[in-house]
Amino acid sequence: MEEHQWIKTALTPFSWVYGFITTLRNLFYDIGLFSSTKVPQFVISTGNLTVGGTGKTPVVEYLTNLLSSATPLAILSRGYGRETRGFIQADADATAATIGDEPLQYFTKFGKKVTVAVCENRVKGALEINRTHPESRLLLLDDAYQHRAIRRDINLLLNDYNRPFYNDLPFPAGRLRETRKGANRADAVIVTKCPPSIDGNQRAQIRGEILKYAKPETPVFFAFTDYAGPLNYEGRPVSLKNVKMVAGIANPAPFAAYLEGRFDVVDKMIFPDHHNYSESDLQGLIKYLKNDTFVVTTEKDMVKLKPLVEKSGYAERFAYIPVAVNFGDDTLPFSQWITKQIDDRL
């Protein structure tokens, strides 16, 4: 612990430099030296100040379920980890290599009712979506809090309950992509991954810490993670006892804790976030796999592993745990708030 603190202290001056650079960049956008382009769609951005693991994907899925029935909607992502460049609209031939794992998950789940596309240039991507799908009047931007070249109508900032931005420092001494003051661009803050036991006093304390950096009138909502029952790779419920955990996500600790609390975890294999699985990886997953054991993954890992697993003949030995966001007592307040923002301006 002392060694870790020593390293953090040594890196803090570099964090000051990094924070100054990001602050200067934001200032240039604020005063108009750098321009933000208004696109035809009503733009809702989700993102965070922290590097990875705040629960953006479940929030995007929640927003899609909440809003797409009333207004045609498109999801635009950078497509992190893909092996392609430029604008690509997801279709039946899409893979994690062509569009990235999270967009592939969106397309797998919502492709029949929403448009899913990737483009590293969000303005170009939004304009192309408008050209091909002018009916899609809502645009969800995935992980775009720092991507200020495109103007957004609603800026949602996610804050991980377990790793709050207000206790962190900019890179490299911490995990922040910019300084804490970046929270003042948020139209609302969602505290994700809250424990079921969180009470009113804790909510008030967290809200107070957030509003030290966000605008005073910024609403703060609290959300929980719901783990659904395990499904096989064909989407059918399956009963588990002994499991081999596999995860390639930014923060696998909550997933591991969930599995350990419900099943006998006989082994764990952790890969880097956005890991693209290979045939050799698959062989490592099934090596020494006993007949009474399932390989259990996250949904994001499932969409990448599924093609390999189906070819291997081991599909019946793989399962995944779907994850969703639950706003609990804030379900109605959040729904009312965001639909009012849209109704007032769309």
Burial of 85 (C-beta count, 10 Å sphere; 0-12/13-18/19+): exposed
Count of other CB atoms within 10 angstroms of residue 79: 27
Q: Is 54 marked as a binding-site residue?
A: yes
Q: Is 57 marked as a binding-site residue?
A: yes
Cβ neighbours of residue 334 closer than 8 Å, sequence gap 6 or more: 188, 190, 221, 327
Q: Is 51 marked as a binding-site residue?
A: yes
Q: Is 52 marked as a binding-site residue?
A: yes
| Token reading at 126 | 């939004």
Q: How far apart are CA 254 and CA 59, in angstroms?
A: 16
Q: How far apart are CA 154 and CA 185, in angstroms?
A: 10
Q: Is 297 marked as a binding-site residue?
A: no
Q: Is 56 marked as a binding-site residue?
A: yes
Q: What is the 3-state secondary structure (H, E, C) of the chain?
A: CHHHHHHHHHHHHHHHHHHHHHHHHHHHHHCCCCCCECCCCEEEEEEECECCCCCHHHHHHHHHHHHCCCCCEEEEECCCCCCCCCCEECCCCCCHHHHCHHHHHHHHHHCCCCEEEECCCHHHHHHHHHHHCCCCCEEEEECCCCCCCECCCEEEEEEECCCCHHHCCECCCCCECCCHHHHHHCCEEEEEEECCCCCHHHHHHHHHHHCCCCCCCCCEEEEEEEECCCEECCCCECCCCEEEEEECCCCCHHHHHHHHHHCEEEEEEECCCCCCCCHHHHHHHHCCCCCCEEEEEEHHHHHHHHHHHHHHCCHHHEEEECEEEECHHHHHHHHHHHHHHHHHHC
- Residue stretches of the annotated binding site for ATP: 50-57
Binding residues: 50-57
